[in-house]
Amino acid sequence: MNAPSVLTELLEAAREIVAASDALAAFAPWPDGAEPAARGAAAIPALEEIAELAAPEPVQNAALQDAILRAADAIDWRQTYTEEEVGRHFLDHFGYCELIGPEGHFLSQEYRAFIAYWGEGLHYDWHVHEAEELYFIVSGEAEFFREGEAGQVLRAGDTRLHRPMQPHAMTTGDSPVLAFILWRGSGVAELPRMGRE
Ligand code: ZN
């Protein structure tokens, strides 16, 4: 099975951003040789605004974002949440893809890498998952919340750890945010769920 070349190039751009970030590289070993899955593309309403994202700094973030934009029409974009859970407006400006993982474009049972987009003015309410998670901001900015702590604004190149089952939330302001997200550990094959437990 061969993946579309734009997806192979996206995988390579992801490998390079992980190699360039101490936090990403230390989080989990890169899954060398992850096999491509036979997975078709799926579109989301937010694709139009994703295509218009401004190029971030530093240059390796711009390279990853470029690779995402070039692959956008080949990506199996997902939303997971229902309109009842998050509302129509949220779903019109949100989407993610599983680049690497049990259900990803490239297969791994231990490593999971997502690319996720939220448009401006969205609130991603409290949610939890068992897997440990590291956010890396590719472009834009958002305020991140962990239960019991003050919010923190993250921008391109910043990282953020969420421990297993630690409730977290996020709000975007005047700018969208594009994130590269890694999961590891127990529960890596599951999905987040809304709520605090
Ligand atoms: Zn999370």
Residue 32 CA, distance from chain mean position? 20
Q: Burial, 130: exposed, middle or buried (Cβ in 10 Å; 0-12, 13-18, 19+)? A: middle
Q: What is the pLDDT of residues 78-123, one digit of tens each?
A: 999 999 999 999 999 999 999 999 999 999 999 999 999 999 999 9
Interval between CA 135 and ligand 1 midpoint (Å): 8
Structure tokens at 14: 């992801």
Interval between CA 161 and ligand 1 midpoint (Å): 9
Interval between CA 162 and ligand 1 midpoint (Å): 7
Q: What is the pLDDT of residues 111-169, one digit of tens each?
A: 999 999 999 999 999 999 999 999 999 999 999 999 999 999 999 999 999 999 999 99
Q: Whole-model pTM?
A: 0.97
Q: Are 15 and 30 in contact (CB under 8 A)?
A: yes
Neighbours of 8 (CB within 10 A): 16
Interval between CA 13 and ligand 1 midpoint (Å): 22
Q: Are 107 and 34 in contact (CB under 8 A)?
A: yes
Whole-number Cα distances in Å, 179 to 75, 137, 140 = 15, 5, 9
